[in-house]
């Protein structure tokens, strides 16, 4: 019996002193309190968000709806913070552990605050996107990503400071490390600077069709920190380092106002002067009167030309040059087709013909015979 009594006395002593001098019953109750808050976190978040949704539905702006949607994560974390604080407040903590527990509570609150700020960057993007016309979409995306990274860095710095870790020496050490890395990563920084110049100078934007001399022709899909993705017309994806855009010429086809048609029409040498004039005038009239062509004559790019250009070996060359009002590829090739059909119709109506490469061979005859044309 003495052994059993001694065991119970030891058990009660351990129960009272618990772990690190904490009463075991208080630890159990504190754990139950924390567990209840943890289980109820989803219900709390849904309840609050449901109420907030009812409020924001009464407004006409969209940004408040986005705010309600993005704060669901931090709201689920808030009961965990509150539950841990109440649980640790209930427990009679050893004075030696008070500082540690207080730092844990401060850390959880700091995480909640910075998580909430990180999520609120999403609705903040609605305000920044109003400047897309001046900053470009890619630069706005870079700005938002930079803000998110900044919030994360500030959160880490704040937490380290709470635990007594001095950030200054760490930053100084990282600075020296950064200098060493920069010496070995010059291409990376060169690409980064070139990428910033691309966005600030608005040389091209996502969706533009560009031609990088000696590199690729296609549609810009993404402008990154280090490289730009170009989708070629054969669907291949080409990764171009950003510094290439500073060294190579870039043609932005999406910025053009018109598409040009420039043809050399070869007519047979037997075509008379009257036929040439009629063909020229009818083609010019078609270009000047058709709404598909830029023909108001206000600039070089809005003037059509139809002129006899050259006497080639096998043909009389007529230059046909004009600009279409559209830059859309499908409409452009349709306009080209209509113009080609019209030119062929005009030439046939004038009883003329298109020339093709040919040669006339003269065979020298014997003396006293006339040369013959074969």
pLDDT in tens, 313-348: 889 999 999 998 888 888 999 999 999 999 999 999
Least Cα distance to 74 among 31, 30, 121, 28 occurs for 121
Least Cα distance to 214 among 255, 245, 260 occurs for 245
Q: Where are the domains of the chain?
A: 2-165, 201-255, 259-349
Are the C-beta atoms of 279 and 273 separated by less than 8 Å?
no
pTM over 0.85: no
Least Cα distance to 164 among 109, 108, 100 occurs for 100
Cα–Cα distance between 31 and 293 in angstroms, integer? 79
Cα–Cα distance between 326 and 335 in angstroms, integer? 9
Note the helical H segments in the chain: 2-17, 24-39, 41-56, 63-70, 72-90, 95-128, 132-135, 137-162, 167-184, 186-201, 244-247, 273-289, 329-349
Cα–Cα distance between 75 and 339 in angstroms, integer? 65
Predicted confidence at residue 273, as pLDDT, reads: 93
Tell me, what DSSP letter sits at residue 304? Answer: -
Mean pLDDT of the chain: 79
CATH classification code of 201-255: 2.30.30.60
Predicted confidence at residue 295, as pLDDT, reads: 74
Least Cα distance to 340 among 348, 328, 329 occurs for 348
Phi, then psi, of 151 in degrees rounded to 5: -60, -40
- Residue segments in the chain with a per-residue pLDDT below the cut of 50: none
Provide the 3-class DSSP secondary structure of residue 106.
Answer: helix
What tokens were used for 309?
Answer: 């250009």
Predicted confidence at residue 234, as pLDDT, reads: 87
Predicted confidence at residue 7, as pLDDT, reads: 57
Are the C-beta atoms of 68 and 52 separated by less than 8 Å?
yes
Tell me, what DSSP letter sits at residue 22? Answer: B
* Sheet arrangement for strand 305-311: 259-267, 316-324, 305-311
Least Cα distance to 259 among 302, 320, 204, 212 occurs for 302
pLDDT above 90 coverage of the chain, percent? 19
Least Cα distance to 267 among 237, 331, 311 occurs for 311
Is the CATH number of domain 259-349 3.30.70.100? yes
């Amino acid at each position: 019996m003495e052994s059993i009594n001694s065991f119970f006395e030891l058990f009660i002593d351990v129960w009272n002193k618990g772990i690190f001098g904490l009463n075991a019953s208080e630890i159990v109750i504190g754990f139950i309190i924390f567990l209840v808050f943890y289980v109820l976190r989803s219900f709390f978040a849904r309840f609050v968000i449901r109420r907030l949704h009812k409020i924001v539905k009464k407004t006409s702006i969209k940004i408040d709806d986005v705010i309600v949607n993005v704060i669901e994560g931090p709201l689920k974390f808030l009961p965990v913070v509150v539950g841990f604080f109440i649980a640790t407040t209930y427990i009679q903590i050893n004075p030696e552990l008070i500082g540690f527990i207080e730092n844990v509570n401060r850390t959880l609150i700091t995480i909640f605050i910075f998580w909430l700020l990180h999520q609120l960057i999403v609705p903040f993007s609605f305000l920044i996107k109003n400047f897309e016309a001046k900053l470009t979409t890619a630069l706005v995306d870079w700005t938002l990503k930079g803000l998110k990274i900044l919030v994360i860095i500030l959160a880490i710095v704040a937490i380290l400071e709470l635990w007594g870790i001095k950030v200054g020496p760490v930053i100084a050490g990282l600075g020296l490390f950064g200098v060493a890395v920069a010496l070995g990563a010059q291409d990376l920084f060169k690409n980064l600077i070139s990428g910033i110049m691309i966005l600030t100078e608005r040389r091209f934007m996502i969706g533009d069709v560009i031609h990088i001399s000696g590199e690729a022709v296609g549609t810009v899909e993404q402008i990154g920190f280090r490289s730009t993705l170009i989708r070629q017309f054969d669907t291949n994806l080409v990764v171009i380092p950003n510094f290439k855009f500073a060294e190579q010429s870039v043609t932005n086809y999406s910025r053009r106002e018109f598409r040009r048609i420039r043809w050399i029409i070869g007519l047979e040498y037997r075509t008379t002067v009257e036929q040439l004039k009629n063909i020229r005038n009818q083609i010019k009239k078609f270009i000047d009167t058709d709404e598909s062509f830029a023909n108001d004559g206000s600039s070089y790019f809005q003037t059509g030309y139809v002129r006899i250009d050259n006497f080639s070996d096998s043909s009389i060359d007529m230059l046909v040059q004009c600009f279409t009002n559209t830059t859309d590829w499908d409409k452009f090739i349709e306009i080209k087709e209509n113009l080609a059909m019209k030119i062929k119709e005009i030439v046939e109506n004038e009883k003329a013909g298109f020339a093709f490469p040919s040669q006339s061979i003269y065979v020298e005859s014997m003396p006293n015979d006339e040369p013959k044309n074969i």
